[in-house]
Structure formats: C-alpha cells, structure tokens
Structure 1
Amino acid sequence: MTTSHEELLPGTRRALSHRVAVAQAEGRAPSLVAAVVRGGRVVWQGARSSVEGHEPDGDVQYRIGSLTKTFTAVLVLRLRDEGVLDLGDPLEKHLPGTGAGEATVAELLAHTAGLAAESPAPWWERTPGSLRPELSDVLGEHPLPHPVGRRFHYSNPGYTLLGALVEELRGAPWEQVLREEILEPLGLHRTSTRPRAPHAGGWAVHPWADALLPEPVEDLGRMAPAGQLWSTTGDLARFAVFLAEGDDRVLSAESVREMRTPAAPAEATDVADGVAYGLGMQIQHRGGRLLVGHSGSLPGFLANLTISVADDVAAVVLANCTSGPLLGAVGADLVRIVAEAEPRIPEPWRPMPEVDSEVLELAGQWYWGTHAFGLRVSADGLALGPLSGTGRRARFRPNGDGTWSGLEGYYAGELLRPVRREDGTLSHLDLGSFVFTRQPYDPEASVPGGVDAEGWRGSERA
C-alpha cells in the first residue's frame, strides 16, 4: 500500500456511514463497527449501536472466529520460510499418529486435505474445549470423508492440526507463539485469545422477533487455532496492511503474496461466485475487483476483513450477533465505495535508474509462430503480452544469470532464456521450449521443425 495521508472526501465518508447504518438496521445487529484503511492507516471509522450513546470504537474487542485461521497460516508460512518444513511435507513427517498424516501442510492450509468440516458432536463452537482434549477427539474415528488433495472442503479440524503442528515444531503453546511472532511485532496489542475489556457481548437475535438471547463464550481448547481470537477494528486494520505489504519481522511480501494466491480447486458453486481459497486467505472476484481476506463467525459474533491490494483499500467490519448482516458484502461495498469515489492515484512514471544494454535488447516485438507479442522492460523486470486480443501474459523477474523466471499465469515458474549466436548477437528467446523470434518463423532462428526453405508465398504458389 502507498503512504498517502489524504483524508477521505465528505461525500465518501457519508456513503460509508450510510452503508454501515443500513447493514446494522437491516441486519438487526446489536452493534456494528467498521474501519477503512488506505495508505497504510485507518482513514475512516464508523459504528452503529442499538443502545443510544454506546457506539463502539476501534478499541472495542469482538470475537473474530475463523479470521483466526489467517493468523495460524502466517505462523506455518514462517516455519516454511525458516526451512523448518516444506509445504509439500506430509503432516506425518512432523506430527505423527494423527490418522490424517498423508495430507500435506499445503493441503491443510488450503482446505484440500480431505478432512471433515467440523469435529464430532457436540457442536464445538458452543461447548467447552475441555470436551476435546486430544487431537483424536477433534478428528473423530473417520477424519477423512474425502480423498486427500482432490477437492476443496472447508475444515475447522484442519486448522486445529496446523496449530498442533506449530506447537510441535516451536516447542511452545500456539497462543504463546502467536503472541511472540505476530501480535507483538505488528503491535496488535488488543488481539487476544480471551476477551479483554472493553469488549462486546455476543447475542443471538430472534429470527422472527426483535428479541435478544445471550450466547455462551467458550474457550475452544484444541480448536483455538481455527477460531479463538478476539480483536478490534484498529488491530485488524494493521493486520490488513501487513497482509497487503508483508513485514520482514513477520513474513515477507513475497510470502503474503503466496497466501493471497489461489491454492485450492473451487467447488462448482464457488466458481459461479468467483470465489477461491489461498493459503489461509479467501479470494473472490466481485464487481471486476480482486478481493482477499477472511470472514469469521462464532455464536454471538460476525467478522470480516476485505482487502483490494490493487486499489490500496481494506475494510474491517465486526458485529456482535450470531446471524444477520452479511459482513462480506458490507466489507466489499466499503472497499468499492472508496475505490470508485476516490481512485488510487498512481505513482509518477520514472525512468529506470540504470539501463543494461543486453536487457534493453530484449525489448520490442516478438513472434511465437505467427502470434505477435510485445516485451517491455522496466525496473520491475520484463512484461510479455499479446499485441492484440487475448493471450498469455506474464511478468518475469531476473535470476541473476541472464535468465528470467515467470511470475504468473501460464508462464509462472517457466524459464525465459535469451539465446545468442556465436558472434554474441541475439537470435531468439526460449520460453519453456517455445521459441520467440523477431519475425514470424524467422529462418535465421532455431524454430522447432524448421522453416520451409522457399519461405512465405501467395495463393499462386500455395
């Protein structure tokens, strides 16, 4: 995100306030609090309450439910970045004897491990965690109702296993590791595993009457890494900045980008809705905008964190009711309101600080067979794309040895290698075995299958 400190315009602020007011009123939430982040800081806060004069602020804690999973995922990615584990490792390698050990760490993060959605009865969200003291109590006798790695199936027990993995490899409780490795470095002092005043009380709202029922607050025990945390809009705003930019004290920008990248095959209904899942983060396309983050719910509470990295806007929305306002839609609307009313102003164009003549030689028009492409050189690397219509696009970063690695799309991870003739002049580009030449089927280049010696011809010679 940028470092702009411009305030939002009055019309934008009113539109945000209106959206929150409608959500609280129509969703019949006892209270609802929201914040918008831009330029690395909170630029707007709003709240509505059923009790006049008691609107919550950015320091009031709400339970955030499954948003906890994103924190747990960060802890696992830290272990990967330190070389303690590989995302392709089977769980059995590090945490033996669970009965779900053939699933990999990545599959657990992406909810493709084949595990059940919930732990065996009684319903874990409304009962003490002491009822499930061991992992076997969380997983049950048949932990894998689906084939491992074959489908996305959201699983709370899967994140219990990831929390246990963190404890095993760190030699400390999940709560302690979380505090030392994420909360303290990022300054999330109002995020905790148990409520700290001031905090909201959790309520159920009768579906057919304007009446309330208090919800129990349970310590989730083993299930804590899947949904235990309490937090505030202020803390989650800081967490949103981290998930967009990274922070080398916790996790690099490259690793948080990996978390935001789809890692699970979507269900048919999700494909229709433009929804996917990364490594501990939900991903969706909404109104032409790519949004990432996570939702959360526990009896008495709803939570949502929505980020548009491209627009440099994030929204946090918290409510203290079991059901009611659709916070995912509210968060997406708050992002949209700001992004459309006050679009991000791009950084000014600047020339590269230095120009490498061999890299500059790669710029310009290239042909893969008869398909025309353009290759642009910038300080960020190379960008390849078709000159007309749709086609394969990708950015490339240098490897330091004259080759380049693809960063996205069809060419993600593929090697781009400039091929030179004996005299040092540039002949063609080899991109994952595809030959790109300066002319269509250039006879002077090593085109696979060769080029007909008679060259191009008209209809009379065809």
Structure 2
Amino acid sequence: MTSEFEELLPSTERALFHRVAVAQAEGRTPSLVGAVVRDGRIVWSGARSCVDGHEPDADTQYRIGSITKTFTAVLILRLRDEGLLDLGDPLEKHLPGTGVGEVTIAQLLGHSSGLAAETPAPWWERTPGSLRPELSDVLGERPLLHPGGRRFHYSNPGYTLLGSLIESVRGESWEAVLRREILEPLGMGRTSTQAQAPHAGGWAVHPWADVMMPEPAEDLCLMAPAGQLWSTAGDLCRFAAFLAEGDERVLSAESVWEMHAPSAPPEAGEWESGYGLGLQLVRTEGRTLIGHTGSLPGFLAGLWVSVEDGVAAVALANATSGLSAAAVAADLVGIVADAEPRIPAPWRPLPEVDAELLALTGLWYWGTSGFGLKLVADRGVELYQLKGNGRGSRFRARPDGSWIGLDGYYAGETLRAVRRADGSVDHLDLGSFVFTRAPYEPSAEVPGGVDEGGWRGLRQ
C-alpha cells in the first residue's frame, strides 16, 4: 500500500537525525548510518561520521553479521514451499553424516536444536574460515548441549548446517542460491559476501580512550550462512519491506508471516523477546518488532519492522562495541510511528455478499459464553468472544465450504456449519466445540445433551 504522505514532516526528520547523531557521539563509533521505510518505501536516511565531510550514505556497505541468518532462513522456507523438504524433517534426511542428524530443520531455524552457540576455538568471527574446512570442524566433539526442542539456545553452527543443507538440496553454493533467489529479485545489488566499494572499514574503539584500531575482516567460509554478508542501509530497507509483506518472486506473504511466529519458548525472565523462523521478535514500548540484529568484529547492525505501523528501520555502525544498533533502529521506528501514525485505509463495503454466509453472522454460544461471528473479505470469517480475552481467531474459507483457523487458539483448526436434513444450520463445529444460536439450545446437537428441565432459578 502506498502512503498518502510520501515525505516525512521536517520535525520527524530532525528527530531521526538527532537520534543518529546522539548514538554516534555517545556510542563513540567512527560512523553510523540509519534509514527508515514507510509502507514499503524508503522515506529517510541519515548518517554521522568522525571525519567531517565523509559521512556514509544509504549506499555504503557495512558488514551485517547475523542479519545474514534471516536470508538463510528465507532460502529454507523456499525449499519447503517447493516441497523439497519439510520443517519437521530430521537433518539427516537431507544432509547425512553430520553426527547431529536427529535435530530437525525447524529446530535449527528457531535455535532450539540444542547445538552449541559457537564453534570450537579459535574464535570463528576473528579467524580465517579456512581453519574450519569441514562441518566436523564447525561442530566439534560435543556439538549438542541440550535436548532438541526443549529450550532456546542461540547457535551459529546451526545456521552453518542450514547453509550446507541448502547447498545439498540445490546442488550449488549458498552464495549462488542467495543471489539468484533473493538478492536479484528484490533489487539488492549492493549486498554481497565480500566487501564492495564504497564500504566502511571495521574498527575497535578503546573502552577507556578515544583511540581506535582496525579489525580484521575474515572470510567465514562454511560459517558464511550465519554471518558473512555485507550490505547497505538502502538494500536492507528493501529486505525489511519484504519481511513485512512478502513478495511472490521470493516468498509468499503467508510463509513470511509464518517466520514472524515464535518457534521456541523464551528463556526464563525474557518474556519480552522471542525467536521465530530466522527472525528475532521483541516487544518494546507497546510495539511488536520483527527483524534481526548483527555483529562481527568492527561492525554492528540492527533491522526492525513494525508490521502494524507499516514502518521499518535499519542502523549500521562500524565499531565492535559501544552502542546498540538494534536500539537505534527500534528508536527510529518509534519516532516515525509515534510522530506520524499510520493513516488507516478507508472503510469500504465488501464487493459482494453471499446470503447464506450473511445468515451465519451474529451471535453464537459455546455453552454459555457468547461469541460474535463476523464476515470478512474473500468469504472469510472472524470469531471473537464478546466478554473477556477469550479464544478468538480469523478463518480463511476453503473450497469445501469450511474454514481454516489462521491465528490464535484455533490456528489450523477447522470451522464448519453442520446442517439438519432440511438444510438449516444446527450448529457450528470448531475442533469438536459446538456453537449454537442460544445457550445450550435444546434443538441442537449439544454434546452431553441438554437437561429436560431447562433453565431454572433457585427456590429458597
């Protein structure tokens, strides 16, 4: 959807630039670039640098670290959608001989496989990938630390396995598949596995003095699918727009939204964050953000999308530590969303209505709990409890006249209208729950039957 207001207000632009300037100064990073997307379009970018007149722009490459994982996850979902694998498949089915083949593809995507967080020494981010030429070098002698599927435990080697899985199924390199299936369709010509000018250099800033030292930029080789990529604020804004709405050339909206859903329980005390399929999920300032953070020696990166607000932001810096690029990106989203709230689309009636469907709308009862059934676009329906925070869901119409739950308690469950011999509707069946027009309607097929004495008061 195109924004009615394509340009940001001057006051909003100043607030965005102020946030970037403060972050660069207080974070003591050589340079920092930020950019904002609204309704799929880049509407602002700005930067600060320690060298006057040499500020980066939205076309300057930075290393993006673990944001690379989201690209790898998209490639896996593409294989799933093509029917070449299932997320519940054990790794061994498609990539034999790893020694950890019992973990599932879904567990690897959501960091619940139980694999170790890092490779064996030396530290993989600051040493040549040639030191780990085989998967056994990446996994080490004790790769599994936890039972699969039991807890969230972030694993860089897990995404190395996913990259190797992509190569095994496609029969070509992860880099080639990435370029053909994501970068080219989305027009991300400034995203690459190796630095391409103009690009920022990576620096370490001394924690107790305003001096700095260059960081090495190693080729991660097998570890590339976990953190290799270089990109720009402009390219990442295009990727952010894709993560919000999907793109049929790359991945359907339905599959992208599947990535947004939590895939593993968070750690104790971390109820404000979670992880989907290749995406980090956070709740901050009353706003849900999906995206990913990234870091490698010399670089920090953050990408967040607020789907509800139609706003996304990217922040890239060339320092090993000192500031949170993720926090800067989240603040950029909040500045735009708060200062210029999304204008809702005008209400419009449905293009057509089916009289039989319309007759199903209105009040229904599950036992004594009242629910509303609302007709929505494309013959879909929405069921919601009238009091309290009950079990509500949206449903998509199926060709056979039933509906499939899309979210909430009834996600994946089937809703259908059960009719009498004369064609009239007796009740709605939803996963064995019976919804009737009146509480425990005597004429309907209520499980367990209805007491013959009917409703009664309490005699003293």
Residue pairs, 1:20-419, within 5 angstroms? 20-271=20-271, 274-379=272-377, 381-419=380-418
Any stretches of 5+ residues in structure 1 without a counterpart? none
Query: 3-state DSSP class of the match of 1:70?
Result: helix
Query: 3-state DSSP class of the match of 1:116?
Result: coil
Alpha-carbon deviation of 1:26? Answer: 1.0
Render the CA deviation track for 1:311-331: whole Å, top value 9, x for unaligned. Answer: 000000000000111122111
> Structure 1 residues 195 and 171 mapped into 2: Cα distance closer, same or farther (>3 Å)?
same
Query: 3-state DSSP class of the match of 1:268?
Result: coil
Render the CA deviation track for 1:34-69: whole Å, top value 9, x for unaligned. Answer: 000002111011111111111110000000000000
Q: What is the CA–CA distance in structure 2 between the aligned matches of 1:86 and 1:28, rounded to whole Å?
A: 46
Alpha-carbon deviation of 1:269? Answer: 3.1
Q: What is the CA–CA distance in structure 2 between the aligned matches of 1:67 and 1:156, rounded to whole Å?
A: 12
Q: What is the CA–CA distance in structure 2 between the aligned matches of 1:384 and 1:17, rounded to whole Å?
A: 44
Q: What is the CA–CA distance in structure 2 between the aligned matches of 1:359 and 1:22, rounded to whole Å?
A: 56
1:154 maps to a residue whose letter is: Y
Query: 3-state DSSP class of the match of 1:316?
Result: strand
Q: What is the CA–CA distance in structure 1 between the aligned matches of 2:2 and 2:226, rounded to whole Å?
A: 32
2:111 maps to a residue whose letter is: H
What root-mean-square deviation, in Å, do the aligned CA atoms of Structure 1 and Structure 2 show?
1.0
Any stretches of 5+ residues in structure 2 without a counterpart? none
Q: What is the CA–CA distance in structure 1 between the aligned matches of 2:41 and 2:52, rounded to whole Å?
A: 28
| Pairing 1:440–2:439 present | yes
1:18 maps to a residue whose letter is: H
On the 8 A contact 1:191/1:231 being kept in 2, the answer is yes
Query: 3-state DSSP class of the match of 2:103?
Result: coil
How many matched pairs?
459
1:125 maps to a residue whose letter is: E
Query: 3-state DSSP class of the match of 1:318?
Result: strand
Query: 3-state DSSP class of the match of 1:304?
Result: strand
Alpha-carbon deviation of 1:165? Answer: 0.3
Query: 3-state DSSP class of the match of 1:269?
Result: coil
2:75 maps to a residue whose letter is: L
Q: What is the CA–CA distance in structure 1 between the aligned matches of 2:139 and 2:359, rounded to whole Å?
A: 58
Alpha-carbon deviation of 1:223? Answer: 0.3
1:409 maps to a residue whose letter is: G
Q: What corresponds to 1:450 in structure 2?
A: 449
Q: What is the CA–CA distance in structure 1 between the aligned matches of 2:341 and 2:454, rounded to whole Å?
A: 51
Render the CA deviation track for 1:329-377: whole Å, top value 9, x for unaligned. Answer: 1111111111111111111111111111221121101111111111111
On the 8 A contact 1:5/1:39 being kept in 2, the answer is no
Q: What is the CA–CA distance in structure 1 between the aligned matches of 2:98 and 2:63, rounded to whole Å?
A: 29
Q: What is the CA–CA distance in structure 2 between the aligned matches of 1:122 and 1:147, rounded to whole Å?
A: 26
387-396 or 214-223, which deviates more: 387-396
Q: What corresponds to 2:419 in structure 1?
A: 420
Render the CA deviation track for 1:137-160: whole Å, top value 9, x for unaligned. Answer: 000011101111111100000000
Alpha-carbon deviation of 1:245? Answer: 1.1
Normalising by structure 2, report the TM-score.
Answer: 0.98
Query: 3-state DSSP class of the match of 1:405?
Result: strand
Query: 3-state DSSP class of the match of 1:360?
Result: helix
Alpha-carbon deviation of 1:428? Answer: 1.0
Alpha-carbon deviation of 1:19? Answer: 1.0
Q: What is the CA–CA distance in structure 2 between the aligned matches of 1:170 and 1:6, rounded to whole Å?
A: 41
Q: What is the CA–CA distance in structure 1 between the aligned matches of 2:4 and 2:172, rounded to whole Å?
A: 40
Query: 3-state DSSP class of the match of 2:150?
Result: coil
**What is the percentage of aligned positions where both structures have the same residue?**
72
On the 8 A contact 1:2/1:312 being kept in 2, the answer is no
Q: What is the CA–CA distance in structure 2 between the aligned matches of 1:432 and 1:324, rounded to whole Å?
A: 52
Normalising by structure 1, report the TM-score.
Answer: 0.98
On the 8 A contact 1:4/1:39 being kept in 2, the answer is no
Alpha-carbon deviation of 1:5? Answer: 5.1
2:398 maps to a residue whose letter is: N
Render the CA deviation track for 1:218-255: whole Å, top value 9, x for unaligned. Answer: 00010000000000000000001111111111111111
Q: What is the CA–CA distance in structure 1 between the aligned matches of 2:288 and 2:4, rounded to whole Å?
A: 21
